[in-house]
Chains A and B, each alone.
Chain A
Amino acid sequence: MSVLVFIEAADGVVKKSSLEAVSYGFKLAGASVTAIAMGSISSDELAKVGAAGAAKVLHIADSRLDNGVIQAYASALTQAVDKTGADTLVLATSSLGNAVAARVAVSMQAALVSNVVDLPETGSGFKVKRSIYTGKAFAMTEVTTAKKILAIKKNAVEIKEDGAAASVEALVVNLTDADFAAKITSVDKAEGDVLLPEADIVVSGGRGLKGPENWGMIEDLAKSLGAATGCSKPVSDMDWRPHHEHVGQTGVKVSPSLYIAVGISGAIQHLAGVNSSKYIVVVNKDPEAPFFKAADYGIAGDAFEVLPKLTEAIKAAK
């Protein structure tokens, strides 16, 4: 198997989920994994890709690719697949990754499987497990094409950190004006926060927090854990919190090792976004709240009392 891994970076920093994809590629193909990165990325960042398991990093150092221009990325990636002769492209399932991979799948005539959670079974044919029904089930998916694209679900693979330094090679591809037909006019980003979809710990608040002015308590707890903050849908609908924090069926699907839900009732649509979490802690003043049924640990109590105590206890335990 000849594996190429697509690296996504934000502001020149390689995403954690892309390192997971590299480590997946390494498990798939061993030491021969090549990665491809685009836009302005420092050599220190590219070194992380080597540590995660890539032997070689192809770098398209074109600053027009600093933002994720979907068509240009797809075109560059298709050319990279051609040039390297890769038969398998691995990447992270993400808002950019899926949009790009779908186009590449057509141009390289490959099957695309997203939300992959495990290594393939290759005994008879090629079967790979993916998460479906928003985390409520899995499908063993048989891939019938010679070329394949696997988009790996976040936090499904552990990052390997003992790889060697990768050799970095510049790659030149031919990008046309049509590839840049869409103009990105501006980008709004949350400052300095842990990215919610990638976070290892998430602290989420619901309508039980009563209003946006009380989010300081959620942020304090999140800070004590190095966690990202999330919220339920009504909270983002009411503009208490930005939309990109909305977790659930119609929002961000998270799969952290720890999800802490405060003042969230546990509606099935919210659970759909968190059911891949390894551990769930629920704080709710209603002991009958449905969320407790999906939780590993729970406190039936008032968030306004529990949150400061919990934050203190975590700080004390560190």
Chain B
Amino acid sequence: MKILVCITHVPDTTSKIAFTDNNTKFDKNGVQFIIGPYDDYALARAVELKEASGGTLTVLNVGTAETEPTIRKALAIGADDAIRVNAEPTDSFFVAQQIAAIAKENNYDLILMGRESIDFNGGMVHGMVGELLGIPSFSPVMKLDIEGNTAKMAREIEGGKEYLEVSLPFVAGCQEPIAEWKIPNMRGIMSARTKPLNVVEPSGTTENTKVSEFQLPPAKGAVKMFTVDQVADLVKALKNEAKVI
């Protein structure tokens, strides 16, 4: 089985979000970058599937040279090789085009990625790639098993889940509990240094959206504290002040 896992390079979940250049750029100062947590689930499941049934596992990132440590980490976790499409990933459709172009050349049986990136939260690249390739796409997928040419999966729906069956190939946007995050071991880290990381230039260049300005939400006021005996006062405040009950 040939598996492709697409990963994002995103600020650590504890990062302080701030902007520079007149609120047109994300402030990377002091920010740690990680594999997107949802992509990390996809990668973990891909490693398990590969271990169970053999085949190859390629990771793909659309990003500039600064994402390479993140890509190496994915190699350390268990991918065999990596492709970096050398471009700033600013628009979902642009990214989807890059992934689809690589997929067309390589005929993967399975294309996995996170349900969404945790920076822009678009949640649409998997579906766009599916449509561009003319194959099914599913998200958010929380369980994925493969037997021969058939996949059985569970997709989260609001307030529950649905179980599906489909033939390969397809695209899945993944989330927990599809697998547990894997931490690279020493051997993985050593071998990742020499695994191939191929850099290719972007193909399509269509961008449908462009961010003109970033904004931060207004700061929250101070918390009003109540003691255990003032529960009734809290209820009053919710009723008369906040007017939410």
Contacts and interface: CB of A to CB of B under 8 A. Distances in A.
Interface of A: 10, 15, 67-68, 70-71, 74, 93-96, 98-107, 110-115, 127, 129, 131-145, 181-190, 193, 195-198, 201, 225, 237, 243-244, 249-250, 257-258, 268-269, 272, 275, 278-279, 281-282, 292-302, 305-306, 309-310, 313-314, 316-317
A14 to B, nearest CB: 13
A24 to B, nearest CB: 18
B238 A279 contact: yes
A59 B141 CA distance: 28
Contact of A71 (B19, B120, B136): B136
Contact of B159 (A111, A193, A225, A298): A193
B163 A140 contact: no
B4 interface: no
B230 to A, nearest CB: 8
A140 B93 contact: no
Interface stretch (B45-53, B54-62, B192-200, B218-226): B218-226
Nearest to A97: B123
Contacts of A196: 158-159
Interface stretch (B69-77, B80-88, B205-213): B205-213
A313 B127 contact: no
B17 A297 contact: no
Given A103-B137, A244-B158, A111 B208 contact: yes
Contacts of B190: none
B219 to A, nearest CB: 11
A81 B138 CA distance: 22
**From B128, B207, B231, residue with most partner A Cβ within 10 Å:** B231
Contacts of B145: none
A184 B162 contact: yes
B235 interface: yes
A70 B191 CA distance: 40
Given A111-B93, A131-B121, A317 B131 contact: no
Nearest to B100: A106
Contacts of B152: 185
B130 to A, nearest CB: 6
A141 B210 contact: yes
A215 to B, nearest CB: 17
B118 A133 contact: yes
Contact of A139 (B96, B170, B213, B227): B213
Contacts of A314: 235, 245
Contacts of B163: 184-188
Contacts of B122: 112, 114
18 contacts: A74-B131, A94-B158, A99-B137, A105-B208, A106-B127, A132-B121, A133-B121, A135-B217, A138-B215, A140-B213, A189-B159, A201-B245, A243-B156, A250-B176, A269-B13, A272-B13, A278-B244, A282-B223
Given A296-B221, A306-B231, A102 B17 contact: no
B157 A68 contact: yes
A95 B213 contact: no
Given A114-B122, A141-B212, A198-B158, A136 B17 contact: yes
Contacts of A10: 157-159
Nearest to B160: A189
Contacts of B161: 187-188, 244
A195 B159 contact: yes
Contact of B121 (A67, A74, A114, A193): A114
Contacts of B231: 299, 306, 309-310, 313
Contact of A137 (B93, B162, B216): B216
Nearest to B119: A133
Contacts of A317: 232, 235-236, 239, 245
A193 B158 CA distance: 11
A99 B209 contact: no
A105 B124 CA distance: 9
Contacts of B202: none
A127 B225 contact: no
B160 A132 contact: no
Given A102-B126, A127-B212, A197-B158, A297 B121 contact: no
B67 interface: no
A281 B238 contact: yes
Given A106-B96, A279-B238, 18 more contacts: A102-B123, A103-B131, A137-B214, A143-B209, A144-B210, A183-B165, A184-B163, A185-B164, A188-B163, A190-B160, A225-B245, A258-B244, A292-B223, A298-B224, A298-B225, A299-B227, A306-B231, A314-B245
